[in-house]
Structure 1
Amino acid sequence: MNRLFFRFFVLVMLSISAAAFIVYFTINRMYGDPIGSIARNQAAAQIFLLEQYVDKAPADGWLDRLNKVREVSDVRFDLIPLAVARQQVPADARAAFERGEVVIDIGHKALFRRVDLTGDKYIGSNEEAIHAQHLPIDIQVALQMEAVRYLIVALALLIPIAVWSRSHWRGLQKLMQVADRFGSGELKVRAQMQPGDSIYPLAERINHMADRIETLLEAQRGLLHSVSHEIRTPIARLEFALELLHDTVGDTVLEKRIGSMQDDLTELKSLVSELLGMARLDSEQPLRYETFDVTAALRSCANTLPPSTVSLDVSVPDGLGDYYGDCRLLMRATGNLLRNAQKYANGQMALSAARKLGGVTIVVDDDGAGIPEEEREKVFEPFYRLDRSRDRNTGGFGLGLSIASKAVSLHGGSLRIETSPLGGARFVITLPPA
């Protein structure tokens, strides 16, 4: 946000600078060089003496008056040959010099003018020029005055713009904070703006959007929670009925089919439990923070895995220290990753952890087929499963990784997938400093 207003400030300053140059060149084009006009004004007294006193003398008194001016003036007046004057006059002013006009040499604080075009002042006056030096010309002061003028104009523009921008900036800061809190799960938060605020219409539209999103999410969570709870009742009845049926039936084929139906019910119960866990995870705010020992928690999580032919190498060192967070959620995320590795490993999996920069890194490896790079973001989506895992023996429901990702993100951490040194997939949980 600060970058936006800084760029706006730089743009305004560049526009003012560009306007100053455009004004200067436009005036120069239409009315002549303004700096030359300033220099001529500063030398106005010497030009006045020359034109109104010396030039008004009778033909035989012109030199006498020039000498009197020399005596009383700090400016040095010399008569130089016309050829020399032509060499010293600036190139862009030679035409005016030849017409008998006063030409100012700003750099040397001097002026040039032909004495006479016809030789009427004295014999040979048409071959000489007046060269006045040490004129009281100080362009530096004039330039400083111009700079002060433009600075005043810039301030007169920037102060109202700054006041106007400040209200926008504060309003946008509030909207940004609301967006951050809403994105972190505080669905009740809204932008509080006054009708007179400049971005009030934008805030109202964001509030309407937030209301709509909250309504949809609440409806989705309510539906998921209600359906999951409602399904449990018929599942329990079916389990009871199948159990009774299994006890009364003696046919081996029928018993096998009843067993298959019971497996389906078990799978359905597992799905309902996952859905309820997902719904609770979405609505659990705030987290149940506590200080727990990382080493003990991870080792306990590894010990809760169901028996399997896949070997588990636990490389969790002693002394990882304590971490402040929701132990239950974090260990559930780690457990989901371990069970996922157990499903797809060929025969080996590993759990390791380390303390880095105050945070905790937890790594789960397996030697299975791995996960293609283009699929690594998608596997965290609910109900998403890779093609190779769609069979009922290993497929699951596609909710375990999604739950793990949500649990880690609620702690401000990240969960990413890499290629494991064992040859399969590596899941890396990175938790920030608590």
Structure 2
Amino acid sequence: MTPDRWVLHCDCNSFYASVELLEHPELKQKPVAVCGDPKARHGIILAKNEPAKAFGVRTAEPIWQAKRKCPDLVLLPPHRERYRHFSAVINGIYAEYTDLVEPFGIDESWLDITHTWHLFASSPTALADLIRRRVRETTGLTISVGASFNKVFAKLGSDYKKPDAMTVIRPEDVARIVWPLPAGDLLYVGRAAGERLARLGIRTIGQLAAADPGILTDNLGKLGAELSRYAWGEDEAPVHPVGWREPLKSVGNGMTFRQDLTSPEQVRSALGALAEEVAARLRRHGLWAGAVQVTIRDTDLHTITRQKQLPMSTHLARDLAAECLALVQANWDPARRPVRMLTVTALALTDEPFAVQQSLFGDAPAPDPKREKLENALDGIRRRYGAAAIGAGSRVGNQLGLDGLHMEENAPAPGEEDWNEKVKGPL
């Protein structure tokens, strides 16, 4: 192990399911899954425990498919506030041992203990075991820990052995432990990247390390060069300190509707409601959007994504909704292909509005102070009386579920296996 760096990756085991089982200890040995509400058409598996995994139940698969694999599968509803509570408690434990604690979603964190381990234990691995014990005794939950000389291999280590285990990956262990693993186990090798690597005959991390970096770059762009370095353990990305947050790159919100959208009016109402939530969050963070993106999914689960630059930056719902509606109108006919899900995402975020060159004929877009004042007033009403206190009339009493819409922080992209958006780019 490189003596000047020790990085831990701590991963809560079956986090959502484990938190639910604290309330239902009688179910601990039975196959259990946390799932969305089938009646609201969020009928997918969000998390599962170890007995359910043994039946082949997978995250993000439809409930009916999971029940076919495991007829006795016990389904529990999610309780997000509980998950946030336990996440805060567990990260608080981590912070007792180092100020370099970087969450990676709600149930995973990196810890850099390079300069602190000797204050608490006889060795870095002894401290890792101490942290595992503290989490278990304090919360009743278990974590798996990877200990290595960089973030990427520490993450591999926490995935290597589960549950409630620790794996150490030293430089001399890379060829034995890391290289035989599937390429898809490496951080940032998603489904699309994995398929491209497979077409090149690359199926293990060792084959990825042995591949020509130039060929990888030709086929995967910048990511190819990054993955080549990661396979060799050449990752020097820092573990960021407690409280650090990566600047927002996008703000989005999506919804699967209670009934399919089949008319322009329904689409307009849905986009307006989603844009309200996105715009409110932009204003809360003092951000402006320079582009928008719409994701559309039909009843056959066919999905398209379209985006466009805005004529001027904005954080007003009316502007976002109008541009998103134009995208939908240009690319989709809801009467022919009913819409099951929509996502509105604000892109190209800046902390100052960018200027627009004014037209000699006075037809260039211009800021709207009255609209800005109105939407800020709506923000104040919702903060005081709740998100549903005021809104467009089309949101009330409809059959789409818009009256119950609420903002999810960085709502997951369609098909995301986890609720928590995680950074998918290089560290």
Same fold judged by TM-score > 0.5?
no
Name the one with the larger helix percent: 1
Which protein, 1 or 2, shows the higher relative CO under an 8 Å CA cutoff with sep ≥ 6?
2
Determine which structure has more spread, i.e. the larger CA radius of gyration. 1
Q: TM-score normalised by the shorter chain: which range applies?
A: under 0.3
TM-score, normalised via structure 1 length? 0.21
